[in-house]
Amino acid sequence: MQFHQLAYFVAVADTRHFTRAAERMRVAQPSLSQQIRALERDVGAELFHRIRGNLSLTEAGETLLPYARRILADTESAYQAVRELDELERGRVRLGATPSLCTGLLPSMLAGFRAAYPGIELTLHESGSRDLQTDLSEGALDLALIVDSRLRDQTRLSTRPLLVEELVVISAKDRPAPIRRGRLRILDLKDEPLVMFRRGYDLRDATINACRAEGFEPSFAIQGGEMDAVLEFVQAGMGIAVVPSTVVRDRFRVTRFAEPGLSRVVRLASREDVEPSRAVRALRDAITGYLANAAALPRGTRSLLRPGEPG
């Protein structure tokens, strides 16, 4: 009894037709029929009734079929396990993330993963949350770190909340703070020139919506920048900006908002209809494991994961 004979047998049992089974298995029909006859000689019994072009399983065939299916399934599982081991040696993961996460949290998260899995090729795509969702749903990404965005395709994407990031106001160190004492109110931004991100940027929407909720439209010193450009413009003294606390470091004067403040939720997004490879699962587990460790997180962030929680 040989593996390919069992595969041919199951194909004939499923199709009840030698020609269609041969087409499914991509072999010549005479060759498939010959292998079925050889299998019948091996087991010592006919497996099919062949009457006037009608094909049905004999009692021996009915007995063998579940065993054949199990053997084929177990063999495929064995091949898959070996392939997954290889994925950790030579796999590839395509990760999307917003620019602020690339500037803030992502380098520390990915450094540990790279050290643990040096053979996995990491490809990073930096964009806004809406664009990342589109890329993910179209199969251009395996995972994406997005911010607070409403899912555009509820049937194909799922997200998992990871952490809460505090939003703060930054200004140049050689310029006065937006207020002299205490914490900032949203209303205090009314007469302040803002360095503003480009349209479609999550932080732009969060800032403008907060201002409008207080009854005013913010004024812009300059707008249209990505994260790196906004930080440089603020450092040059062109205005202030609302950014996640994780990107600040010690380059700027930082003013925090009065309670309840401003914050945003970072989520890990993936496709519901695609089974992740072992390499993708390894990165997913590395991200959630890092963020579940509250001691590793910078000030102004709060993990939404529990230590030891599976990815």
Looking at the structure, tell me whether residues 145 and 292 fall in a common domain.
yes
Mean per-residue pLDDT over the chain, rounded: 88
Looking at the structure, tell me whether residues 145 and 205 fall in a common domain.
no
- 148-188 confidence digits (pLDDT tens): 755 555 457 889 999 999 999 999 998 888 887 778 999 99
Q: Would the pTM count as exceeding 0.95? A: no
Residue 189: burial class (beta carbons within 10 Å; 0-12, 13-18, 19+):
buried
Residue 151, in any domain of the structure: yes
Strands 143-147 and 92-97: parallel
CATH of the domain at 292: 3.40.190.10
Q: Structural domain tally of the chain?
A: 3
Looking at the structure, tell me whether residues 207 and 153 fall in a common domain.
no
Residue 255, in any domain of the structure: yes
Helix, strand, coil in percent for the chain, rounding step 5: 45, 25, 30
**Separation of alpha carbons 285 and 307, rounded Å:** 12
Looking at the structure, tell me whether residues 284 and 153 fall in a common domain.
yes
- 271-304 confidence digits (pLDDT tens): 888 888 888 999 999 999 988 887 778 788 889 9
Which residues form the domain of 204?
Answer: 164-263
Contacts of 137 (CB under 8 A, 6+ apart): 152, 153, 156, 157, 271
* Tokens of residue 125, six digits: 């795509």
Looking at the structure, tell me whether residues 172 and 248 fall in a common domain.
yes
